[in-house]
Amino acid sequence: MERIKYISDKTKRLLPTRFKRMFLVIFAFVLHYLVSYILDPYSEFWQDYFGRSFSELLTEWGISFLFCFLISEASILIHRKLNLRVPWPQNKSKRLFLEITLNFSAVMILILMNMVCFAILDPQSAKVESVPSIEEIKGMLQWIVVSLVISFMIISINTMSYLINNWIETATEMSEHKIKAAELRHASVEAELNALKMQLDPHFIFNNLSVLSELILEDQQLGFEYSENFAKVYRFLLVNSKKNMITLDEEIKFLNAYIFLIEHRVGSGVNFTININDHSRGMYIPSLTLQLLIENAIKHNTTRKKRPLMITISNDEVGRVVIENTLSPMDNPEIVSTGIGLNNIISRFQLLGEKVPEVIKDQHIFRVCIQLVAYDRENSNS
């Protein structure tokens, strides 16, 4: 079966080549008579051309067809050999000179062979006078010119075919490279997005488990509520870990559970205010964006009862959400701010092709303005 398939594929590849060869022979045969007539339509050759017997015409057509076939094959052979030894991109001048010279030589050899062939078939015509007549010289020159025209036309066709095929192959290769590059870039973007989405504080789970164990001992009902919200947070992460965009409403619902954990872990040292209008809740935002900004605010600011950290999430206009927090830097911060968290958020927006958030900072307030997306582009394109 493999051998049959190989032969079938090989035959399919050969069909265009065979068709091209047959086309060139027929083209050369028609061109042979057309150019001969155009050069001298009143020559003796054409005066009584159709007055000959059918056998004479058939013999002449057969020899002419064979002559055209040999010219065509010689031109194709020379073209292929030169493609291997002197390709067009390597040296155009040398290639053109060699192709013309070799084809001219092949045409002259074939003309001599054709003359010998006619002399054998018609011995009477071979007995020429010592000094050829003007008509005979004219006929010979005409024959050479016609043969060279045929040869050069075939050279042109072969060269154009080569250039077109080369252009198609180059364009195909470039398209394949672009597709592969796009696939690699897409895979890289997906991997980077997944890595960015999952960058929660590594101590978060341990801190919350510690708080949960204390609450269970002190207040079982509050411990139950805490465990429920803790489960909601991680259920959200599991469900939405592979999503690039979610609705703002989903993000806010997740934040309610996340904020519940923070308020019972930090106490009154942090104060949250969420004020989002209904018109914006159906719009989309990269998942975990607001959570990462809240985590950043708590990580780099003090959370004291006397001076609580104020975090506000609101709409100053439809299609935009603003998250801001008061600035109360730590006296001796355990974690030095490197800006990685904020850079990760900006990178996610860039990778998703969305407008980058606007960051505003002064002595008292740190504010991030996020442009919401009207629809989920990922799902709408799929």
* Among 158, 193, 228, residue at a domain's last position: 193
* Amino acid at site 211: V
Q: Are residues 169 and 254 in the same domain?
A: no
3 pLDDT above the threshold of 80: no
Q: Are residues 300 and 258 in the same domain?
A: yes
Mean pLDDT over 18-24 rounds to 77
Contact call for residues 304 and 311 (beta carbons, < 8 A):
no
* Among 173, 193, 213, residue at a domain's last position: 193
In whole angstroms, what is the distance from residue 156 CA to residue 375 CA?
A: 56
Q: Are residues 52 and 116 in the same domain?
A: yes
In whole angstroms, what is the distance from residue 246 CA to residue 286 CA?
A: 6
Domain-located, residue 198: no
In whole angstroms, what is the distance from residue 279 CA to residue 281 CA?
A: 6
Q: Are residues 238 and 137 in the same domain?
A: no
Q: Are residues 284 and 350 in the same domain?
A: yes
**pLDDT tens profile 118-159:** 667 666 555 544 556 676 677 777 777 887 888 788 778 777
Q: Rounded to 5 degrees, what are φ and ψ at 317?
A: -160, 160
Where is pLDDT greater, at 119 or 35?
A: 35
Domain-located, residue 37: yes
Least confident of 6-15, 159-168, 336-345: 6-15
- Grade residue 9 by pLDDT with cuts at 50, 70 and 90: very low
Mean pLDDT over 76-100 rounds to 83
Q: Are residues 129 and 209 in the same domain?
A: no
Mean pLDDT over 217-233 rounds to 86
Q: Are residues 171 and 301 in the same domain?
A: no
* Among 151, 171, 193, residue at a domain's last position: 193
Which domain covers residue 178, as residue numbers? 2-193
* The total number of structural domains that make up the chain: 2
H helix runs in the chain, sequence order: 2-39, 44-47, 54-85, 92-121, 123-126, 134-197, 204-218, 220-240, 248-266, 278-281, 289-300, 340-351, 377-381
Domain-located, residue 179: yes
Model-level pTM?
0.49
Least confident of 35-39, 61-65, 185-189: 185-189
Mean pLDDT over 159-182 rounds to 79
Q: Are residues 157 and 267 in the same domain?
A: no
**pLDDT tens profile 318-365:** 889 999 999 988 776 655 555 566 777 887 788 777 889 999 998 889
Q: Rounded to 5 degrees, what are φ and ψ at 246?
A: -135, 165
Q: Are residues 308 and 333 in the same domain?
A: yes
pLDDT at 372: 92
In whole angstroms, what is the distance from residue 253 CA to residue 8 CA?
A: 62
